[in-house]
Amino acid sequence: MSKKENHRYLISSTARLMANVSPVSLRQVGLWLGLIILFWVIFVSVVPQGGARPTRTSGSLLPIFLFVGLMGVFFWIQRQRLNRWLSNYRKALQQPEPQALIAVVSDLGQKTTMIPDADAIAAHQVAFAYALYGHGEAARRNLAQINWETRAPVIQAIGLNAEGLAALLGRRDVPQALALFQKAQGLTAVSPLVPGAATTKRGHAVCVAVAEALLGLESADEQTLAKAAADPRTPMQLLASLGLANLRERRGDPTGAEVLRRFLAETAPHCAPLHLKADAFIPGTAPVEGPVPPTQLPTAVPTRPALFKTMGLWIILLTLLMITWALFARPQ
């Protein structure tokens, strides 16, 4: 049943996302006019005047090059933004308290409020940040700001996963964490054709594998952990490194485990749970936490960033240009 519910949620979320159009401002009108003028200039340069049919020689491959180049610039900008965010994330991990890390993930949450259930995603990120520093109760208090029961199964899975992280790194209760991770994994069933489905599946599999590795279970998937531990693009690399280090120690590879532990010591020196060995994960042995106020989570607002509007307009105009060139151009 959860698979059908998840599909309905994804369809309705996409519809809501596309419908979230903010009022048009004077700046946006100027942007539209500028792009239309640019389109016309390129169109005139491709289509000769006087009624003559253009040739592919006269039009060349300018539209295609322009389209491909624009897409390349767009993806380069997105990649730079991701790298900059990851750099800030790693710098925050050097701080002795989680506040700097929470500020980084909260800033990302404020920029993604257009996404449906952005508050739930932000709650997971904040809870993960608290859990990395061993503040399990603070993570749970922040998760309590969300009414998870009213959300789609795939969003409920995010909350269960965050609770599992709080149990694992905060209370050091690995059996409970494994149960929560497995329950979350069972709620994420979607078609493999859905964008992001593989990433979501991989993330939940990593959490399950980490808990199984700490419990010494033979079912712990070393390959899953190794792939995640070698991927610097996500914070999940830290958790996977913890699980893989303990797994390799159990399987007689202390050298490989030491490499991972050095990485964790350099990357997250103040995240105490990441430096523990499997036999230290005993429920009730975590240090007593001090009072930590809940973090204000971002609320969804019906706006769409100007970047997406601009890119959408560029794609439409350039597609029209390519269609025009394809329809009217002929070999010379």
Cα(34)–Cα(26) distance, integer angstroms: 12
Type of residue found at 101: L
Cα(245)–Cα(250) distance, integer angstroms: 9
**Phi and psi at residue 282, to the nearest 5°:** -120, 125
Q: What pTM value is reported for the model?
A: 0.72
Joined tokens for residue 77: 């900008």
CA 228 to chain centre: 14
Report pLDDT digits (tens) over 193-243.
Answer: 666 778 888 999 999 999 999 999 999 999 999 999 999 877 899 999 999
Joined tokens for residue 299: 């609320």
Report pLDDT digits (tens) over 66-81.
Answer: 666 766 777 787 788 8
Confidence at residue 305, expressed as pLDDT on a 0 to 100 scale? 46
Joined tokens for residue 92: 């925050």
Parts of the chain with a pLDDT under 70 = 1-3, 5-32, 35-36, 38-68, 70-71, 108-115, 193-195, 284-332
Torsion of CA 170, 171, 172, 178, to 10 degrees: -90
**CA end-to-end span of the chain, whole Å?**
59
Cα(135)–Cα(49) distance, integer angstroms: 70
Across the chain, what does the average pLDDT equal?
78
Domain boundaries, the chain: 2-323
Confidence at residue 37, expressed as pLDDT on a 0 to 100 scale? 73
| Residue recorded with tokens 């040739």 | 55
